[in-house]
Amino acid sequence: MTSRNQHVVPHANGWAVKSAGGQKATAVYETQSAAIARAREIARNQESELLIHGRNGQIRERDSYGNDDFPPRG
């Protein structure tokens, strides 16, 4: 399985969890917190990133669950 970043985005019926590059929502929730919890679970399982969007669609927060270097290089 390839790891894809998970996005929490506004949806007509609440908030959606979508994989990066995916056309359809993985799941739709009434609240953003419920969508974040599910997206975080998926991101941890896939060792990918979680990107949380605000109502305006812009990324407001991100968490990484991959094999990142710590401390970061550079």
Of 66 and 41, the one with more pLDDT: 41
Tell me the per-residue pLDDT of 3-39, one tens digit each, with 9 for 90 and over.
Answer: 689 999 999 999 999 999 888 999 999 999 999 999 9
What's the mean per-residue pLDDT of the chain? 90
Residues in CB range of 56: below 8 A, 6 or more apart: none
Asked whether 20 and 7 are in contact (CB, 8 A), the reply is yes
Of 65 and 32, the one with more pLDDT: 32
Asked whether 8 and 27 are in contact (CB, 8 A), the reply is no
